[in-house]
Structure 1
Amino acid sequence: MTDVFSSSCEAVLQRTISVSFISRSSHVGNLYQIDETCQFITSNQFKKVALQFPDELLPDAIRVSAEIEKQTKAKTFILGDTSYGRCCVDEVAAEHVRADCIVHYGPSCLSPCRRLPLLYVFGKKPIDVQQCATAFKELYPDLQSHVIILYDVTYTHAIGDLRTLLCDIYPNVVVSLLKTDHSCVAELKQDSCVDTDHIDSQDDRVISKFGRQFSVKAGQSVDNYGMFYIGQEGLTLTNFMMTWNHCAFSSFNPETHKGRVESVKINKALMKRYYAIERAKDASVVGILVGTLGVANYLTIIEQLKDIIHKAGKKSYMFAMGKINVPKLANFLEIDVYVLVACPENSLLDSSEFYKPVVTPFEMELACNKHREWTGEYVTDFRDLLPGGSSYVGFPEPDQSAVEEETTDVSLITGALRTCSTTSTEILKSTSESSSLVPRNQTLTVANTNTAASFLSGRSWQGLEPKLGQTPVMKAVQGQRGIAIAYEEEGVGNKDASTPLQKS
């Protein structure tokens, strides 16, 4: 009877799968760059290799894995369901199988990793370079236009040909290169044929951001350039547009073969983020969401967030729950706002469907650090907020000699007065008391307040009432048997239920 609803367990265990090896001259072998991957593994003598695939490439994972094992004699492990975003390298899953290295396939945010040697295989998505150049000429008819070309990593293979078609006509066009600062990367697969000599003269200022490197002419800034992006609309483009929000963006979609001026109003998007900052200022309880375990310095930014939240007079709780969604975060009603620690592309989460807003570490710092002001600059990479980063702003240090002053302002959401309780006396007092032992006075003892417990005590429904000592003790009795739709005892004594059905 069970075989009607499910397959036999024994048949599943005895099932065999025939795997056809990939021909070296086939399209799939060229797409996944099998020969280059095998050379990377054999030259470094890796024995266990973790292959990380995004969901759309998983159908080819078995064939790629079999061909790599055939050529290298190494043991491969397929990482399918990643812990967080598909663009991030899942070093935690690779360490579970004690892998010697990771081969990451498909799109990537190029966030720095520090644990295992890494090889990127971006693949080669099809693109018509001639149509891309034509769309660029239509969007920028002025041959003296200052434009920076950015692109999705899956189109790296075609950037060299595009540069050949444009740079002779447009002398002020700058083509970005893929450049990472991974300390454990043995090789970074680029295959782009881009001439690094054009990065430029010594007078030009070189900028490295999000794994891209380009140069701007001396005396100019990035804001003086337009941005031309090659790829589909998505998180990568949104991240670029939010970071360089003073630049005019246009894009070319290789799938639709069309170029367009990006008409998304950045000011409107920034105002939505500013609203989230105001919610963070009003919050008294903050939840720190761990959205990555592989990006370098993620533990450092978590400790920094905990420190500034405490100094701002707020309470923080930390959550590690993998891929976040609305039901997961709805379980913690006492949290007023969440701050997500993730890679730059996954940090800009649209929290309109969530019960409580989800902000970035930069937005949380704006809410807590009075020395950081809203200037229109937006930071999506949390590494820039750390000491030594390009956007680091120190938190005001408590002054023992200064008189404690509480600054207040008006909430733009509720209209109520709120106190910025970065009180130096409380911080100094807490640090001094924690290092000494004092006898407790029973008559003056005050219980420590717990934010979550206070929230629970103020709720209208606090769970089932235990009523200890009020309920009489009774012997256990046998309950109903069967399934909920029709218990065995149901229908007994019921005339309608006991009457058999008549055949028509």
Structure 2
Amino acid sequence: MAQPSGVSATPPSFISSANLLRVALQFPDELLADAVEVAARMEAATGAEMYVLGDTTYGSCCVDEVAAEHVGAEAVLHYGPACLSPCRKLPVLHIFGQQPLDVGRCTEAFRELYPERQSRVVVLSDVVYAHAMGELEQQLRPEYPNIIFSSLVCGDLPGPAAPGEERKFGRQFLVEAAGGLQDYAMFYVGAEGLALTSFMLTWNCSPFSSFSPITGAGGVGILVGTLGVAGYLTVLQHLRELLCRAGKRSYTLAVGKPNPAKLANFLEVDVFVLVACAQNSLLDSSDFYRPVVTPYELELACNPAREWTGNYLTDFRDLLPGACAHVELPPAVPAAEAVPDVSLITGKMRATHLCDPPTSQLPPSTTLACRDQTRALAEISPAASFLESRSWRGLEQQLGQTPVSKAVQGRRGIAIAYEDEGCEQP
């Protein structure tokens, strides 16, 4: 019978306490480069034989018991992200790794999302940030008496779940409210991915918010995917205002049918939002270098007044004023009340919002562009200056600016050997 899986024991103590003689080490692809050194150190520390599972049969988040049995392993040390699904036979020790988490910044984000101190919130996290949840709880528990922090569970727990107890995805937490989990919001610490998607689809009665410790989307590209659907200009303006309120830079891009090669030209854009008809809004962006979302997903991320209801909207017209699903943006934060931070570009204090109310002293942007377009773009944002400095700018007619010249003979031959190129003799 398999022993309980573990997460808290160290690998040497896990091996020594069970008197293991043969252990399988399972690494995801991105950690295989360290497998040999880890195996050598483990053998030196424990005296047991180590076998590296170089290629897992299925997803790397799952423990590959079949491959471990092929070498006669008595246990598995699983490195990297894990789904924490229970195993059938072998004991398993999970070593998640510890990604850094700015607990102070995460705490401030939580306070902004939940200003009401009596809010009922369940905190979930990616396994690589589980090590920092204790410190985060120390920061938030005194202010939020109704907060719940989930704990990681490896393997099956004995006995049935208690009333109000959730045991899913290797997470365990107890909800004591009379209304159950539907009275709680969910706060996820980690990057967007399959784990967060699974949580949202399973606990779809609860509104979700997430905090990504790695990066935040500062530049958003609005992809114009239609010029014929009624209301597309209105939704473009709506998305620009939404992003401005959220403190994001937006760039409107007309690239025709999007593909990875086209969008890879815009490295300064962190995420794209596609404005298209309802049938073409859901784009498979798995091959893209940046995610491509729908206007509804952008609304969920940037409009604090919109909550997740379990319903998904693919028609952007449902988000416009007067539509059934329209949600008004909350009032803009006055400049005097904006929380300052330090710009990494200038080193000076700045407000967190990017949209100041227009004043009569500021000249229109077109005037600035006419005087010195390059300088005006640099004052708007560094990304705009980067775009201006590029040598390739797409198709530009430049009527009346290009001098007329006679047609000349071009190069002849095939790409690997034009007629005017010398051929090297072997």
TM range, normalised to the smaller chain? 0.3 to 0.5
Give the TM-score normalised by structure 2. 0.48
